[in-house]
Amino acid sequence: MPKTLYDKLWQDHVVHQEADGTALLYIDRHLVHEVTSPQAFEGLKLAGRKPWRVSSIVSTPDHNTPTDHWDEGIQDPISRQQVETLDANIREVGALAYFPFRDPRMGILHVVGPEQGATLPGMTVVCGDSHTSTHGAFACMAHGIGTSEVEHVLATQCLLQKKSRTMLVAVEGSLGKGVTAKDVALAIIGTIGTAGGTGYAIEFGGSAIRGLSMEGRMTLCNMAIEGGARLGFVAVDDTTINYLKGRPFSPTGENWDKAVAHWRTLHSDEGARFDRVVMLKAEDIRPQVTWGTSPEMVVPVDGSVPDPTREADPVKREGMERALQYMGLKPAMAIKDIAIDKVFIGSCTNSRIEDLREAASVLKGRHVAGNVKLALAVPGSGLVKRQAEAEGLDKVFIAAGFEWREPGCSMCLAMNADRLEPGERCASTSNRNFEGRQGPGGRTHLVSPAMAAAAAIAGRFADVRDVL
Amino acid sequence: MEKFVRLEGLVAPLDRSNVDTDAIIPKQFLKSIKRSGFGPNAFDEWRYMDVGQPGQDSSQRPKNPNFVLNQPRYRGAEVLLTRANFGCGSSREHAPWALLDFGFKAIVAESFADIFFNNCFKNGILPIVLPAPEVEALFGQVEATPGYKLVVDLPAQAVIRPDGHAVPFQIDAFRKECLINGWDDIGLTLRHADKIREFEARRRIEQPWLFA
Ligand code: SF4
């Protein structure tokens, strides 16, 4: 019987199965950061247990680290304690790779893993972070876990899982000028809703997806969780294999050939059945901007803020009204009339080299508008930063009036000093526009890097297709 | 982990969809390296008029009188009633820790986000999915009836209303057994240690590049 990619990945990792279908799955790669691991290491120690296979661990601090004045260390004592706790834990147990604070390879785990070749096709990849779905771009079964599960993986190298249903999201055709993977991700979430993928593993397919770079596929899979799916993935093709060749932890020599032969099997078979299929036409997707406090509250840039009185479902209507109030917006207002205070280009969704290139191509020779108080560019890793500087992108950002920062999660979740003040409005390339996500009272609009750059220049949302 | 068998608890209604884990426990409290003490900061941004900081004594902070959990009639609630997609967003287990520390032992909703749903079971909280009309009816009854309590009977897989009406719910057999017995997942998994070792040994031969 033809199998889906998910079936293949699942079957390749089952160690044991309970009568009700709950399976014990083997975990190949465990990504560890400072926020969700301390309680797990402590639990392990208290129970007198040893980690099962430390060579599965790749670790770096990212959530709490500052993005400027690295020479001064971490000023916030509680953040510092968390990062130091990670240092101590990894030093004690060991890891395949650890990039401590200020290491040139430090960065957001979901950027660092792939660029190191530590995320390889066919792996199970877990991390105490919901955006672990990013690694699905490499045909991995990759998803976020809670801290108890982090401890479980440390102790047993396994996870208890129930099989998800399968969904194919197929985007056919070619994307228009200025339309990026981020717009595809937002358009998909706008179509299926933030709970549309709950209980599903989503395979992204179709010619538009095959046409994306690995960076674009990572952006797309990163957002799978915002559509409710813990898992999102793309089949292996030449793009995947070319990306991995020569990375520090990629296989070499004979192992490379063997690996490639195996990776070539990582796709859904012709005629495989999915529980649900969603089709989108690439030509229909325009640059997207969210207007509310949930990623499904999204419209094309040439659209307007929706009117709750037109919503029939009372629970939804109330949610819309609450979102409009929080966001300080009026129904039927044109998206292009919404002025912004800050711009954030970064996060595990959009902080890779291609994202920075896209933003820089819009910013080149232009300047941030006077009403924009702060524009931040935060590369996803030290290596991305170095690459961007080698290409001169830092100069473009700085000349345009952006601050060019050190890598980390930064204003994606505002655990460090980078944040919005109450009422401030931000064009952000991150993944969540929840209330308070970028700082208490802050208002987030999710967009692509090119759209964030266009908004920075205009001081309000603008259609990047007009400035390209 | 504590066992969960049967609970008779006061119900508090949180009438919103898409309540995310950052609303349940805001990010600044994630800087703690402990598992306990998050209860006073559950729903911090909705519950208080000021912005809370870790380590602060929350009993002295100005409360938002409009937030439902601040109403005296819901003090001591053990069952949280809410809408669709509860617990979406970040995977932080601090969310169930905060709810548990606040006093909730069961959550009734139309649907839950996957990772949060999983995290509940690891902490002895029972997340119960009921059809939307049943949830709607419960909201009406809770609001109309001070001191409204529900009985959650896990072995019977039913939520029993004060009027005696029993609403059945689904749960995986394995999860149910773990909750009823208070089993520790890691201990259970390690019973299969030999199988894990065998699997790993085979994998090392078949896909050696995974073990570099
Ligand atoms: S960049 Fe944002 S979403 Fe990504 S791991 Fe960091 S905090 Fe989470």
pLDDT digits (tens, 9 = 90+) for B37-74: 999 999 999 999 999 988 889 999 999 999 999 999 99
Using the atom order of ligand 1, give the atom closest to the CA of residue A33: 5
Pocket probe for ligand 1: among A34, A110, A381, A411, the residue whose CB has the most ligand atoms within 8 Å is A110
Using DSSP's 3-state secondary structure scheme, residue A459 falls into: coil
Q: Which residues of chain A have pLDDT under 70?
A: none
A46 contact B CB<8A: no
- Among B residues 168-197, those touching chain A with beta carbons less than 8 Å apart: 172-175, 185-186, 189-190, 192-193, 195-196
Distance B26 CA to ligand 1 centre (A): 15
User: What pLDDT, on the 0 to 100 scale, is given for residue B144?
Assistant: 97
Q: Which tokens is A404 given? A: 């060019």
Give dist(CA A113, CA A91) in Å, integer: 19
Query: Within a 13 Å sphere around the CA of B168, how many CA atoms are in the beta-carbon half?
Result: 2
A47 contact B CB<8A: yes
- What would the pLDDT profile of B71-97 be if each residue is shown by its tens digit? 999 999 999 999 999 999 998 999 999
DSSP A362-421: HHTT----TT--EEEE--SBHHHHHHHHHTTHHHHHHHTT-EE--SSSGGGTTSSS--PP
User: What pLDDT, on the 0 to 100 scale, is given for residue A315?
Assistant: 84
Residue A439 phi, psi (nearest 5): 130, 145
Chain A nearest CA to B68, separation (Å):
16
User: Does the pLDDT at position B210 exceed 80?
Assistant: yes
Residue A127 phi, psi (nearest 5): -165, 150
User: What pLDDT, on the 0 to 100 scale, is given for residue B32?
Assistant: 86
Enumerate residues lining ligand 1, CB below 6 A: A 62-63, 108, 110, 129, 131, 347-348, 409, 412-413, 430-431
Which protein residue's CA is at the shortest distance from atom 6 of ligand 1? A409
- B190 with A143: Cβ contact below 8 A: no
**Angle A359-A129-A96 from CA coordinates, rounded to 5°:** 95
Burial B107-135 (b: 16+ CB within 10 A, else e): bbbbbbbbbbbbbbbbbbbbbbbbeeebb
- B84 with A315: Cβ contact below 8 A: yes
Closest C-alpha among A284, A141, A148 to residue A224: A141
- A123 with B18: Cβ contact below 8 A: no
Identify how many contiguous H helices and E strands chain A contains and give both numbers: 16, 19
Using the atom order of ligand 1, give the atom closest to the CA of residue A431: 3
- A144 with B91: Cβ contact below 8 A: yes
User: Does the pLDDT at position B1 exceed 80?
Assistant: no
Distance A69 CA to ligand 1 centre (A): 21
Q: Which candidate from A24, A28, A42 shows the least CB-CB separation from B192?
A: A24
A-B Cβ pairs (cutoff 8 Å, strict): 188
Which protein residue's CA is at the shortest distance from atom 5 of ligand 1? A348
B199 contact A CB<8A: yes
Per-chain mean pLDDT for chain B: 95
Chain A nearest CA to B208, separation (Å):
7
List the end-to-end C-alpha distance of chain A, in Å, as a whole number: 48
**Residues of B with Cβ-Cβ distance to A47 under 8 angstroms:** 186
- B118 with A149: Cβ contact below 8 A: yes
- B89 with A130: Cβ contact below 8 A: yes
Cα A465 to its chain centre, rounded Å, is: 24
- Residues belonging to chain A: 468
- B93 with A414: Cβ contact below 8 A: no
Using the atom order of ligand 1, give the atom closest to the CA of residue A412: 2
Which of left, alpha, beta for B166 (phi over 0: left; psi -120 to 50: alpha)?
beta
Chain B nearest CA to A106, separation (Å):
20
Q: Which candidate from A24, A198, A249 shows the least CB-CB separation from B212?
A: A249
- Among B residues 73-102, those touching chain A with beta carbons less than 8 Å apart: 83-85, 88-93, 96
A45 contact B CB<8A: no
Q: Collect all residues with Cβ–Cβ distance below 8 Å to A257 and sequence separation of at least 6.
A: none
Give dist(CA B130, CA A222) in Å, integer: 30
- B209 with A255: Cβ contact below 8 A: yes
User: What pLDDT, on the 0 to 100 scale, is given for residue A250?
Assistant: 98
**Residues of B with Cβ-Cβ distance to A149 under 8 angstroms:** 118-119, 122
Q: Which candidate from B113, B186, B193 shows the least CB-CB separation from A151?
A: B186
